[in-house]
C-alpha cells in the first residue's frame, strides 16, 4: 500500500511539473510582433512550486546579453526539491538565443531529465528566408515550415510582458499566439479577466488577471482551471499561477527577483 501511494504521488508530481513548464512558460499572445524587445538584461526571477501543501519544486528565469554575439540569452531552470525530488527527480533546462532587434528566437534548447528519462533537442529558426513562413531546423525531427511570427516558449514570455499586457486590454478580451514547442505548432489563447489584488510574499499587490484556456481531459476538468497574475506596473511580473487539476492543485509563487528595469510594487515592499 505504501508503495502504491508513493507511485501515485510520483505520477502526480510528474504531471504538475510538466503542466507548469508547458503553460506557465508558454503563456504568449498575438500582439505588436517583430518590433524588438525591451532591455531585461540582468533580470532574474525565482519561483517556488507547490503541489497541494507540499513545496515540490523551484524555477528560475534569467535574461542576459551574449557578449560575443550581442544577442539576448534567456534561460529557465526548473527542478524538484524535498520529498518530490526523492520520489521523482526532475531537472529541466530551457534556453533561448533571441534577436534583440525583432524579439524572435534564433535558437532554442530543451534539456530534459525526468527520472530515468532524458531528452535533448536544439531548434534553429530562420525568419527571413521565406516571406510567408518561417523555417525551423530541429535536431530531432529535421526541417519544417511553420507560420510566420512564431516563437519558442521563452522569447514569447518576454513578448507578452512587453507588448501584450497594457491599459488597452478590456475585460473579456482573448489574445492569441503561435508557438513552436516539442517540434509542434501550438495555438494558445488566454482571457483577460480584469484587475484584482493578490496576496503575495511581498504583500497585497494589484495585478492583471488572466485565465489561459486549458484543455479538458487528463489534467483539467474545465477550460478555466488555470489563473495567472501579473503585476500592474511597468515590469508586468508574473507573481502567481494557480492550477486546479483532477489530481490536486498547483500553486507557483514568485519568491525573489533582481535586476528589474522599472520601479515595482514589489520593490517597494521587498
Kindly report, residue by residue over 8-60, the tens digit of the pLDDT. 445 445 445 545 544 444 433 344 444 555 568 999 999 999 988 889 999 99
- Predicted confidence band of residue 247 (pLDDT cuts 50, 70, 90): confident
Q: Average pLDDT in the 185-210 region?
A: 88
- Predicted confidence band of residue 217 (pLDDT cuts 50, 70, 90): low
How far apart CA 187 and CA 221 sit, in angstroms, is 20
Place of cell 503542466: 19
Q: In 10 A of CB 79, how many CB atoms? A: 18
| Among candidate residues 243, 230, 232, 248, the one with its CA nearest the CA of residue 45 | 230
Residue 159, all three cell numbers: 513578448
Query: In Å, how far from its chain's centre is CA 85?
Result: 21
Residue 29 pLDDT:
37
Residue 216, pLDDT > 70, answer: no
How far apart CA 136 and CA 149 sit, in angstroms, is 12
- Predicted confidence band of residue 167 (pLDDT cuts 50, 70, 90): low
Residue 20 pLDDT:
52
Question: Do the bridges between strand 238-245 and strand 226-231 make them parallel or antiparallel, or are there none, so unpaired?
Answer: antiparallel
Q: Are 114 and 14 in contact (CB under 8 A)?
A: yes
Place of cell 529535421: 142
Residue 2, pLDDT > 70, answer: no
Q: What percent of the chain has pLDDT over 70?
A: 79
How far apart CA 195 and CA 202 sit, in angstroms, is 18
Instruction: Return the H-helix or E-strand segment holding 19.
Output: helix 2-19
Residues linked to residue 138 through DSSP beta bridges, in sequence order: 123, 142
Q: How far, in Å, are 22, 59, 117, 228 from residue 92 at the CA level?
A: 12, 9, 11, 21
Residue 170 pLDDT:
83
Residue 55 pLDDT:
92
Residue 153 pLDDT:
85
Burial of residue 229 (CB within 10 Å: 0-12, 13-18, 19+) is: buried
Residue 222 pLDDT:
66
| Among candidate residues 61, 36, 35, 79, the one with its CA nearest the CA of residue 254 | 61
Chain mean pLDDT for the chain: 82
Q: Average pLDDT in the 181-194 region?
A: 85
Residue 198, all three cell numbers: 493578490
Q: Are 229 and 209 in contact (CB under 8 A)?
A: yes
Instruction: Report pTM.
Output: 0.83
How far apart CA 17 and CA 80 sit, in angstroms, is 8
Residues linked to residue 243 through DSSP beta bridges, in sequence order: 226, 250
3-state secondary structure of 143: strand
Residue 169 pLDDT:
76
Q: List, for residues 92-142, the tens digit of each pLDDT value.
A: 999 999 998 888 999 999 999 999 999 999 999 999 999 999 999 999 999
Residue 146, all three cell numbers: 511553420
Residue 213 pLDDT:
72
Residues linked to residue 248 through DSSP beta bridges, in sequence order: 245
Amino acid at each position: 500500500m505504501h508503495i502504491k501511494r508513493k507511485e501515485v504521488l510520483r505520477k502526480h508530481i510528474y504531471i504538475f511539473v510538466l503542466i507548469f513548464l508547458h503553460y506557465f512558460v508558454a503563456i504568449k499572445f498575438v500582439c505588436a510582433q517583430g518590433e524588438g524587445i525591451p532591455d531585461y538584461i540582468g533580470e532574474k526571477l525565482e519561483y517556488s512550486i507547490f503541489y497541494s501543501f507540499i513545496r515540490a519544486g523551484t524555477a528560475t528565469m534569467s535574461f542576459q546579453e551574449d557578449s560575443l554575439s550581442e544577442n539576448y540569452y534567456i534561460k529557465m531552470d526548473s527542478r524538484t526539491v524535498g520529498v518530490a525530488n526523492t520520489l521523482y527527480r526532475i531537472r529541466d533546462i530551457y534556453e533561448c538565443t533571441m534577436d534583440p532587434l525583432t524579439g524572435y528566437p534564433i535558437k532554442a534548447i530543451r534539456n530534459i531529465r525526468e527520472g530515468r528519462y532524458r531528452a535533448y533537442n536544439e531548434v534553429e529558426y530562420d525568419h527571413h528566408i521565406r516571406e510567408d513562413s518561417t523555417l525551423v531546423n530541429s535536431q530531432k525531427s529535421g526541417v519544417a515550415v511553420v507560420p510566420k511570427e512564431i516563437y519558442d516558449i521563452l522569447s514569447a514570455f518576454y513578448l507578452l510582458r512587453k507588448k501584450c499586457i497594457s491599459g488597452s486590454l478590456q475585460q473579456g478580451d482573448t489574445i492569441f499566439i503561435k508557438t513552436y514547442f516539442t517540434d509542434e505548432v501550438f495555438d494558445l489563447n488566454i482571457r483577460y479577466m480584469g484587475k484584482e489584488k493578490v496576496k503575495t510574499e511581498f504583500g497585497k499587490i494589484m495585478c492583471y488577471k488572466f485565465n489561459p484556456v486549458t484543455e479538458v481531459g487528463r489534467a483539467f476538468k474545465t477550460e478555466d482551471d488555470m489563473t495567472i497574475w501579473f503585476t500592474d506596473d511597468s515590469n508586468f511580473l508574473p507573481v502567481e499561477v494557480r492550477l486546479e487539476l483532477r489530481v490536486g492543485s498547483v500553486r507557483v509563487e514568485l519568491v525573489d527577483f533582481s535586476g528589474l528595469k522599472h520601479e515595482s510594487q514589489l520593490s517597494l515592499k521587498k
